[in-house]
Structure 1
Amino acid sequence: MKVLIISEHASLKFGGEAALPLHYFRVLRQRKIDVWMIVHERTKTELNQIFAHDLERIFFIKDSFLHKLLFFLGKSLPSRISYFTFGFLLRMLTQMSTKKLANFLIKEYQIDLIHQPIPVSPKEPSMIYDMGVPIIIGPMNGGMNYPKGFKDRESPWTHLFLELGRNFSNFINILIPGKIKADLLLVANKRSKNALPQCLQNKYIIELVENGVDLSIWQQEIETNFHATKKNLKEIKIVYLGRLVSWKGVDLLLVAFKDLIAILSEYKITLEIIGEGKQRTVLEKQAQSLGLIIDNNDNCVSSKIAFQGQLSQKDCAQHLKSADMMVLPSLYECGGAVVLEAMAMKIPVIATNWGGPADYLDETCGILVDPDSEASFIQNLTQAMEKLILNPDLRKSMGEMGYNKVINQFDWEKKIDRILEIYLNSISIFNKVAI
């Protein structure tokens, strides 16, 4: 079996959906599967380091003058509007170049199947079609809106623009028929299936979880269990892991954290915020205005909040290893791979009962907080953190249950087992139809 992965990005540094094609390529190559990948050159340096022995299997699309022009024009727009306007044109332009290169590789290497894992948006069309081999797209994951009580997080203009785009998605997918002509569509959940444009609802669709966990990173030191040797139960470490953007709700976490340390004044509680983004400066100023001590030195025993910046996955695992819980207060999270990564480290998770985290967590391994209103959300975040702090045995049992759930359901190795079955079945069906 010879597989070609087509992707806009493949990167652990970019985070989010960009990590998915990288993991498909990584595990397939570990299993000696003949797989190639086409990706934009902006991830070239990282991929050269990770796949030093497989560089001949990775092909990069370079920026043209038109790429650079579209990127420049989109910079002045709000990020979400830019993504769905000039960003969309950029992705279609990249896919046009990708399609030309893919046609060459199909002939050169006798490719049996094409897999396009991202973009994960159910409504975004694909330029990859009529390639002479079966094409699989997904798993797609979307169909998200802000919770009702948080609509003001999105400007009226942004909301209006996105709704118009969604309403036109059926027409766009007919005009650019990659998903209509695909042999198989993968969706992460029923929400994403329902979000597919009407023209795709009768397609051959299989449900497959979007995210997985690379246990070689997130479990490499699990044997030296921090929680089993911890001596001072009054010292608590809470971790947030993710981008610092408005829809992640970190500003709400800071308010909840201030309330928490007021309630549990006898504890020394540290909140580590790991990640970078446009909101970092705003969040640091907010923490200062709330009277919280900020320190970027992880060894400072008096720090209450530590902004750690962006770290490698290996370093993130080290920080999680010494954490008592992870909190993800995101209000617009389709996936939430960090939830699974914390579970793999035997860390209980507090997350918003909205979107992706609700697909992973249950009452045995974490706490889901309903996003009914800003005031109640902050209060319930505080209460959830307080509950876990006051119940070490509960933290331990939730960590164990989360670990078992990841091992059984979200290991990338098990995910690749399933995707290989899907590949083989798609090739078989395609060849029978061709005959």
Structure 2
Amino acid sequence: MTKTNHQDLPFMRILMVVENISRKMGGESGKSFYYLQLLRERNIEVRAICHGRVREELRQEFAQDPEQFQKIHFIDDTWYQAMIWWIGKKFPYRIQDLIFNQIIHWVTQYQGRKLAKKLIQEHQIDLIFEPAPITPKGLSFMYDMGVPVVIGPLSGGLDFPPAFQYMDSKISRLSIKVSRYFSNILNQLVPGKLKADALIVANPQTQAALPQGSQGKLYEVIECGVDLDFWLPKKLHQSQPDQIIRFIYVGRFVDWKGVEFLIEAFHSVVSFNPNVVLELVGDGRLQKQIKNRVKELGIQSHVQFHGWQPRAKVVQLLHKCDVFVMPSLREAGGNAIMEAMAIGLPTITTNWGGPASIVDSRCGILVDPTSPEEFTEGLSKAMIRLTESSQLRDQMAEAAKQRVREDYFDWQSKCDRMIEIFAETLPQTEKVPVLNSR
């Protein structure tokens, strides 16, 4: 992969418009924080518009750089957004997320649009960058702003595999169908995605899910990123004959993450080889149910529940383990997978969505979600296979570390690629050197 020559890029004044910029919140918010941080390191003048809920966190983050904090502009909730949130809490989670939370977000985006127009004039902004929300059909209010708009990387538009669509209730499936139908209409009314100068997508599924009529230039860059300065590789040690093999899952305890299938599969692994342990890191609505099932299966001495843990603790746990397992059934991205790969863990994951784009046969095992029974059996066979062969684990570990440094998986190269896209999107102007941060 060719490194960016920053001296060939024009000087830029970028305005990031994104609801949350937060290292603590993680997810989309954490990705936005990385973009803000790395763009600044490359001597790009970057301002940001975000929600007031992250004001104090960012004040602390930039305590040593108050000038940059002054370049972050905050939007606070209105009273009617609070009322919409209160009403939405009475509905199922998917409906809350697809309808009520979207309405709240639209109000924030509309406020952001008005503020962005003001900042463009006051600070001679060259380009608007909207890294989130990552959903391809989500509305963007950043249109007719007088400067180019770059949106993405987007990810999503993903359903359960056909054999697992029963996991969505009938009302949720209907809500999804209706929301997707109306999203095309809404995107005609609020044509930010249609008029964007550049749209960055994570995969072909996301590209296919874009609103009808999108005209911007398309780029493909995976939406996840891994900080190679933080997720450092672990040292490989020669395996011992009776060594305990440790599998680890890091993620939420929700149905679409597939944790219940992992538990059933691991029960078979324990029956085959009792020298195994499954470390479960995270929490969520299904945590109590999963704990009860572990007891019913009689494998509680082989399963350790760690609950939610900060990043530093997750790193420590990953370094003690041998194989990462992510049985997610509707994973558009795969941040946790890439972090485990950077550390040097082979991965067992689902041959569907984002994980299928990240993991290949060199660095892990992809399990086809053909049916619940076959998926469970496939997970157990994959775990048994890696339990039996230390040589295969070591080969995949080395390939995983190499793989995560390719194709813009790490944040440094990802940010360089974004700058290239910005430069291609801007009108050709006299080029002024931009300092290389490396």
Q: TM-score, normalising length from structure 2?
A: 0.91
Aligned 8 A contact 1:241 1:273 in 2: yes
Question: Which segments of 5 or more consecutive residues in structure 2 lack a partner in the other structure?
Answer: 1-11, 431-438
Match of 1:228 in 2: 237
Q: Which of 123, 126, 147 pairs up with 2:140?
A: 126
Residue 342 of structure 2 corresponds to 344
Give the CA deviation at 1:429: 5.7
Q: Deviations over 1:45-70 (max 9, x none)?
A: 44334343242232222122112111
CA distance in structure 1 between the partners assigned to 2:100 and 2:216 by the alignment:
29
Q: Which deviates the most, 314-323 or 327-336?
A: 314-323
- Say if 1:121 and 1:141, in contact at 8 Å, map to a contact too: yes
CA distance in 2: counterparts of 1:233 and 1:101, whole angstroms: 63
Q: Does the aligned pair in 2 maintain the 1:239–1:273 contact within 8 Å? A: yes
- d(CA) in 2 for partners of 1:175 and 1:12? 33
Which residue number corresponds to residue 413 of structure 1?
Answer: 412
After superposition, residues 164-175 of structure 1 pair within 5 angstroms as 164-175=178-189
**SS class of match (1:87):** helix
Whichever residue aligns with residue 414 of structure 1, its letter is: S
Q: How does 1:82-93 map to 2 (within 5 A)?
A: 82-93=96-107
Aligned partners of 2:283 and 2:308 also within 8 Å? yes
Partners of 1:271 and 1:47 in 2: CA distance: 36
Residues 221-278 of structure 1: per-residue CA shift (max 9 Å, x gap): x3x51x326657521211101112111010111111111111112x1x2211111222
Q: CA deviation at 1:17?
A: 2.4
2:396 is aligned to 398
Work out the percentage of aligned pairs sharing the same amino acid.
Answer: 39
Shift of 1:121: 1.1
Q: Which has the higher contact order (CA 8 A, sep 6+)?
A: 2
Letter in 1 for 2:18: S
Query: What letter is aligned with 1:218?
Result: W
Matches within 5 A, 1:269-348: 269-293=276-300, 303-348=301-346
Q: What SS does structure 1 have at the residue aligned with 2:405?
A: helix
Take 1:112 and 1:389, find their aligned partners in 2: how far apart are those partners?
54
Please, what is the CA RMSD of the aligned residues?
A: 1.8
- Conserved? CA contact 2:137–2:210, under 8 Å: yes
Paired residue for 2:48?
37
CA deviations 1:280-327 (Å, max 9, x no partner) are 22222222222232xxxxxxxxx4222212222222122111110110
Aligned residues: 415
Tell me if 1:262 matches 2:233.
Answer: no
Equivalent in the alignment of 1:18: 29
Matches within 5 A, 1:136-175: 136-175=150-189
Pair 1:76 & 2:87 matched: no
Choose the corresponding residue for 1:363, options 358, 361, 370.
Answer: 361
Amino acid paired to 2:289 = V
Paired residue for 1:423? Answer: 422
- 4+ aligned runs moved over 6 Å, structure 1: none
User: Where in structure 1 are there 5+ consecutive unaligned residues?
Assistant: 294-302
| Alignment match, 2:4 | none
Instruction: Name the SS of the counterpart of 1:128 in structure 2.
Output: coil
Task: Determine if contact 2:193/2:211 at 8 Å carries over to the other structure.
Answer: no
- Could you tell me which of 227, 246, 268 is aligned with 1:214? 227
Give distance in 1, aligned partners of 2:230 and 2:179: 39
Q: Tell me the alpha carbon deviations over residues 163-211 of structure 1, each in whole angstroms, 9 at most, x when there is no partner.
A: 11112222111011111221111111111111112222x4322212211
Which string of whole-angstrom CA distances, capped at 9 and with x for unpartnered residues, describes residues 321-356 of structure 1? 111011000001000111111110010000000000
In structure 2, relative to structure 1, the CA distance for the partners of 1:51 and 1:279 (3 Å cut) is farther
The 2-side partners of 1:314 and 1:331 are apart by 27
* C-alpha displacement of 1:9: 1.7
Q: Deviations over 1:110-157 (max 9, x none)?
A: 211111111111111211222221111111112211111111110011
